[in-house]
Amino acid sequence: MIKIGSPLPAHEFTILTDEGKTTATSDQLFQGKKVVLFAVPGAFTPTCSNSHLPGFVGEADRFKAKGVDAICCLSVNDAFVMRAWQQDQQADAITMLADGAGTFTRALGLAKDTGEFGGLRAQRFALVAENGVVTALNVEAPGKFEVSSAETMLALL
């Protein structure tokens, strides 16, 4: 599992916006910036849609005030699902990172296999990265939502 002091792995993400489909590398997203990255097991799932993502949407201005350049949400879903979820949640302040094959999530060492329920998914976690290096990392225990919330991450900044 990735640790504090580790660089984020290289990856190319597909991102959908109002302007269309683009790609962004890890370097483009994280180098020279302070970024909060949180991961959810799946878009449109109850805890993710009712608590996790809305917390970051609601606190986006407070993160910016604390020097955060971007807030990114990662899920092992495709870019179309992530865009639909972003629109449904009115989460334009959040950069949605689709990790359809789970490549980035596995490189972080934070993948989990949910079997027939959903297959490969991300563990629920949140981290702070400065200039592409992890400076804070909170990984949830299975089935929990306690240490990766927006409020908890704000307190770390």
Residue 97 host element (H or E): strand 95-98
Above 80 in pLDDT, residue 62?
Answer: yes
Catalytic residue among 48, 70, 79, 82: 48
Q: What is the pLDDT of residue 120?
A: 87
48 is catalytic: yes
Q: What is the pLDDT of residue 134?
A: 98
Taken in order of first residue, the domains within the chain and their CATH numbers are: 12-156 (3.40.30.10)
Q: What is the pLDDT of residue 137?
A: 98
Beta bridge partners of 38: 73, 126
Q: What is the pLDDT of residue 119?
A: 73
pLDDT tens, 82-123?
Answer: 999 999 999 999 999 999 999 999 999 999 987 777 778 899
What is the rounded distance in angstroms from the CA atom of residue 60 to the CA atom of residue 32? 19
